[in-house]
Chain A
Amino acid sequence: MFFFVVGTVDGAGLFKYHYGLIKALLSIKPFLGAALLLWALYARKCAVFIAHLLRQPHYQFISIFRSLPLRRQYLLFFITDFILLLPQTFYILLVLTEGLYLHLFPATVLVLVFLLACCVLLPVRHVHVLNNPEKKQRFFSQRLTGALPRFAVYPQILIRAVLRTQKLVWLSIKLFTGALLCLMSMNNTLAHDDLQLMFLLFSFGVLANGVFVNHLRRFEEQYLSFYRSLPVPLIRRLAQYACFNILLLLPEAGLLCFLSPAHISVENALALGFYAFSAIQLLISISFVKQMAIKHLVVVLLLLFFGGYFILMASGVGFIGLLFLLLAIILFLTRYYRSETTIS
C-alpha cells in the first residue's frame, strides 16, 4: 500500500522515487536504524496479533494443532507469518535487490539478517504460545521487585503500567521530540544556537507527555489508590514521581548527550533537559490539583506552552525550568493529600 500510495513525488516516477529512498536508506545509518525499528515494530505487531488470538476463547479450537508434530506446526505458522509480513517482505526484497546492485553490502547484509530473523523466529514464538497457552512473557519478575531498593518499587510499577498500556503513545512522543531535536540542532548553521525556535518545538513535544501523564494518573487512581493510605513520607512520594519522570525522559536525555557539544552547547542541552524534567514534574503536580477531562488538559498544556515561551523572551530556559520545578514542588506538597478523583 505504501509503495503504491506514495505515487509520484516532485515529478519523479514511482520507481525512481523508491530507488532514491532505498539508496538513502542503505547509505545513511540513522535512516537505516529508523527503518529497521519500524519494520521490527510491524513484525512485533503481527506476532502479538497472532499470540493474542491464540489466547482468545473463540480460537481455543486451534489447540487441536498441538497433536501435530512440531515441524508441521512450525510450517503452518511460517506460512501464516509470511502472509502477514508480506508487505514488509516485498519491500525488503526491493531493498536487498537494490543493495546488491549498488554494492552496499554491509547494510544489505543487515537487512537480510533482519528479514531472516523475522521469518525464522516469529513461527518459533507462535509454536511456543500454541503449546504453552498459560505462560505469558514477563519482563519484570518477582525477583526484580524484591531486589529493588524500597524507593524504586513504586516508580517501577508506574513504568510497567506505561509499558503495558501506553507504549505506542510514549514511543510516538519520543520519536517526535527526538526527530525535532535532531533535525533542528544538526541543521543549525547560525553562529549561535537559535534556542528560541528549538525550545518552542521541543517544549511542544515535552508537553505532549501531558496527555500521557493524565492517563497514567487515572490508572493510578483506579488501581493504585491504596498507596495513598500507606505510610510513605510525602517527600519520598515526590521523589518517586521524579524517578519515574527521569525514566520517562531517558530517550531525550540520551539524545541531548549525543547531540552535545557538536550540535548544541552543553549549557543549552542541560537547560533543555532540566526544562523537560521540570515541565513533566509540573504536569504530574497539576494532576493532583484536579483530574481533568482532555479538553481542559489541552487548555492547561497550551497555557504552559505559551507561558514558557513568553518567559523565555525575558530570561533563559534554565529560569523556566527552575520556575516550573518550584511550582511543581509547591503544588505537590500542598495538594497531594487534598486531591480527590472527580473529573472536571
Chain B
Amino acid sequence: MTSIVKQYNRQLILNIPSLHLQKGIYWLKGENGSGKTTFLKMAAALIPFKGTISINGISQKASPLLYRQQISWAEAEPLYPGFLTGNELIALYRQIRNVTGDETAALIRLLDAASYLHNRVDTYSAGMLKKLSLILAFTGAAGLILLDEPFITLDTAACATLEQLILERNRKNDTAFILSTHQDPGEHLRPFCKQLFVRNKTILS
C-alpha cells in the first residue's frame, strides 16, 4: 500500500504513507471506529480511496479485474437480498470464480450449513448468515482473504472449524488472511497471527 488516504465528508479516516505485508495471517486490531472495516473494504476493492493498493504487483486501480481475482471478502454483518437462497448466492459465486460444486460442497459440510442453504436468506439467523458469508469468502482460489469480525455470532464448534480452515488454507494454498476481530482468534490460530494496529488514523505493524 502506498500513499493511502481515505476521507468521509472531508474527515480523515485513514492515512497510510506506506505498508508492505508479506504473506501470512494478520490480526487487525483497533478501537471501535478506528477504521478497521474501512481498511478492509479498501483492500477488498469495495470503496474508493486515494493512493495505491497492490497484491503481488497487481494494482487495484490499474488492473481491477486481475486484482479482484486475488481477493475475497466477508463482512462483519452480511446483508443479502432476502428473496435469494443461500444456494443461489453460492451458485453466483461459483460461476464468477469458476469453482466446482465439489469444492463448495466441502465448505458447506465443514461449516454444517447444508440443512438451511436451500431456504431463503430472510429466514436465516445471524449465525447462519455469517456461515454463508464465510462459505462465499472461501469459495475460489483467492490469494488474500479479508475477514471482518469472522467469529461473531458463530457457535463454539464453528469457531473451531473456522480456525482450522484458515490454518489449512494458509498452509496448503499459501493463502494470506487479514482478520479484523475483537475476539481472540483461538489458541491454534493465535500463534500464527502477526498483529496490525489501527492507531492515530494509520496502520502499524
Residues of A near any B CB (own CB < 8 A): 136, 142, 145-146, 150, 153-154, 157, 160-161, 164, 219, 222-226, 228-234, 337-340, 342
Q: Which residues on the B side are within 8 Å of A142 (C-beta)?
A: 85, 87-88, 91, 118
- In-complex Cβ contact of A146 among B68, B75, B91 (8 A): B91
Name the one of B46, B78, B79, B120 contacting A229, with C-beta atoms under 8 angstroms: B46
B-side residues, CB < 8 A to A, are 8-9, 44-48, 61, 64-66, 68-69, 71-73, 75, 78-85, 87-88, 91-93, 95-97, 118, 120, 136
B47 lies within 8 A of A223 (CB): no
User: A233–B96 Cα gap in the complex (Å)?
Assistant: 10
Kindly list the 5 A-B residue pairs having the minimum CB-CB distance in the complex, ordered from nearest: A231-B68, A231-B69, A150-B95, A223-B81, A338-B48
Cα–Cα, bound, A230→B65 (Å): 8
Interface centre among A161, A223, A342 (most CB of B within 10 A): A223
Contact A229 B83 (CB under 8 A): no
| Chain B neighbourhood of A160, CB < 8 A | 81, 83-84
Q: How far is the CA of A340 from the CA of B118 in the complex (A)?
A: 32
Tell me which residues across on chain B come within 8 A of A232, comparing CB atoms: 65, 68, 96
Secondary structure call for the B interface: mixed
In the complex, A318 Cα to B46 Cα: how many Å?
A: 37
* Additional A-B contacts beyond A226-B73, A228-B46, A230-B96 (19; CB < 8 A): A142-B87, A142-B118, A145-B88, A153-B92, A154-B92, A160-B81, A160-B83, A219-B81, A223-B81, A223-B82, A226-B78, A229-B71, A229-B72, A230-B97, A231-B69, A232-B65, A337-B61, A340-B48, A342-B9
Binding site of A, secondary structure by majority: helix, strand, loop or mixed?
Answer: helix
From B41, which residue of chain A is reached at the shortest CB distance? A229
Contact B95 A153 (CB under 8 A): yes
Known contacts being A229-B45, A339-B48, A342-B8, is A145 close to B91, with CB within 8 Å?
Answer: yes
Known: A145-B92, A342-B8. A231 touches B65 (CB 8 A): yes
CA distance in complex: A197, B136 (Å): 52
Are A226 and B75 in contact, CB atoms less than 8 angstroms apart? yes
Query: Smallest CB–CB gap between B96 and chain A, Å?
Result: 5
B96 A231 Cβ-Cβ under 8 A: yes
Residues of B within 8 A of A230 (CB): 68, 93, 96-97
A194 to chain B, nearest CB (A): 44
Count chain A CB atoms within 10 A of each CB in B48, B72, B79, B95 and give the residue with the most.
B95
Contact of B65 among A153, A164, A233, A338 (CB under 8 A): A233
- Is the beta-carbon distance between A337 and B85 smaller than 8 angstroms? no
A-B contact pairs, 29 of them (CB 8 A): A145-B88, A145-B91, A145-B92, A150-B95, A153-B92, A160-B84, A161-B83, A164-B83, A223-B79, A225-B46, A225-B79, A226-B46, A226-B75, A226-B80, A229-B44, A229-B45, A229-B46, A229-B72, A229-B73, A230-B68, A230-B93, A230-B96, A231-B96, A232-B68, A337-B61, A338-B48, A340-B47, A340-B48, A342-B9
